[in-house]
A and B are shown apart, each in its own frame.
Chain A
Amino acid sequence: MKTVIRNTTIADKLLFLILITASVAGIFFSREAMPQGPDIVITVDGKPLYTLPRDKDRLVSIPGPFGDTVVEIKDGKVRVKEAHCPNRLCEKQGWISRGAIVCLPNHIVITVGGKAGDLPRGIDAVTG
């Protein structure tokens, strides 16, 4: 071990420094890329249109091909209060405090806490 250390040049030390900095920076970058917090995100046509705190009650109207879809946030939960699409599955889903509501005809996805398709640690998919 001692000979290894003795044989290292300044260049070697610089190399280690660069490698260590790069790996540590990686940790911070990935943290930055995944914001935490239980915000409610409303995505329309694949673009996040609203990011709303879940602790503030409000109604949001989103225009779409089938008229306005009304999203309600109350007591930390979210629901589709009014939808005018043919199946209205989103409205039937009721209040959620985690996960996602999908309204396909209106191209709206509402997610609570993180982005759509987020998974627990070490898990690649969830069934059920």
Chain B
Amino acid sequence: MKETRPAEQRAEETMKKSCGGQAILLAVLLLFAVSCSKSPGVYRKTKPLMDTLVTITVVASSDKEADAAIEKAFSVIERFGDKIDFFKETSELAAINRNAGVSPVKVSPETLGVIERAIYISGISDGAFDATIGPEIKMWDFYKKIRPSDDAIRHNLSLVNYRNIIVNRDKSTVFLRKKGMLMDLGGIAKGYAADLALANLRQSGIGAGIVAAAGDIRAFGLKPDGTPWNVGIKNPRQKSDADDLMATARLSNKAVSTSGDYERYFIEDGRRYHHILDPKTGYPAGQCRSVTVISDDGIFADGFTTAVFVLGPEKGMKLVRDSGVDAVIVDKDGTIHTTLGIKKMVTFEDGH
């Protein structure tokens, strides 16, 4: 809008002369200037990637600039997603899993990066988050309501242990020590994808925006009006369209992720079986309905939600406080637990 100001001033001067023709001409020029001015706007684009919908929002001065930056960031996510796709035979992750108990597999820096961070989160959460949960999770089918037998769950538990992921940084290799081990990076990869995409947007000269890999979000900079971005937090027990959101977080230069028992689940004999399994038991973790974590990096927000969900409100709160991140925990009874930092960032809807 800056460019329009001198035009307005000129318009005023001309009007003093009461010269109608020139004023109309200027009025038209003014409109033209407004429509062509490079005032920053918000642009948004959605693409199916990593088995979900990824939406990238940017503040840019033109549609063209926004589109170029967003498409580049999408391709970064796509390339990373292909490397760690659990189901794609040609992915680096599939190669690691195929060679479990056989040999180390050379991987790209991104894959090595996400696995190293997965091991770190497993370590500080005492295994509440564990990327080697694959042999357990693959036995469940939450759509067909297939629950594995207790024996099968117990049997596969011996294959779940992040300590058996051997990373060699110098050689850039990853090795799963036991045959039959399966690594699934689903609980952490989308947060990391958001981190990678954001770094790429910055390289393209974008100073503000949001990368949302489904519910794994990184917001940076401010909106054109100078305010932070508004990120809605889903209500884990939504009854109607009206109570879809339980709260809104105002975020700038933060990452936020949520894990909930309402994403993939079935109910049998009044009990809810969902996709967040406790790596120590092989059964769905039962102490929370949803966990939202706000952190500086997407990968930690994403990884911590699972860890805290499994640990439950007491131990989970201790972990987030010790780690310097913020969290909103809705426990199994619907009670909300928050860290102190949440008060400044999150406004809850009535009734929450």
Contacts and interface: CB of A to CB of B under 8 A. Distances in A.
Interface of A: 7, 9-12, 14-15, 18-19, 22, 46, 86-87, 89, 91-94, 98, 100, 102, 104, 107, 109, 115-117, 119-120, 122-128
A113 to B, nearest CB: 9
Given A120-B244, A123-B231, A123-B245, A128 B44 contact: no
Interface in B53-103: 53, 55, 57, 86-89
B20 A128 contact: no
Interface of B: 15, 18, 20-21, 23-24, 27-28, 30-31, 44, 46-53, 55, 57, 86-89, 141-144, 210, 212, 215-217, 219, 223, 229-236, 241, 244-245, 248-249, 256-258, 260, 264, 290, 292
A102 B210 CA distance: 21
B219 A124 contact: yes
A128 B290 contact: yes
A125 B292 contact: no
Given A123-B248, A127-B256, A116 B24 contact: no
Contacts of B50: 104
A105 B135 CA distance: 23
Contacts of A115: 46
Contacts of B18: 9
A117 B290 CA distance: 22
Contact of B57 (A11, A91, A122, A125): A125
A83 to B, nearest CB: 12
Contacts of A92: 141-144, 264
15 contacts: A9-B18, A11-B21, A11-B27, A15-B30, A87-B87, A102-B51, A115-B46, A123-B230, A123-B231, A123-B245, A123-B248, A124-B231, A125-B217, A127-B258, A128-B233
Nearest to B88: A86
Q: Which 6 A-B pairs have the closest CB atoms?
A: A128-B234, A117-B46, A11-B23, A92-B143, A87-B87, A128-B258
Contacts of A10: 20
Nearest to B141: A92
A36 B112 CA distance: 45
Contacts of A7: 15
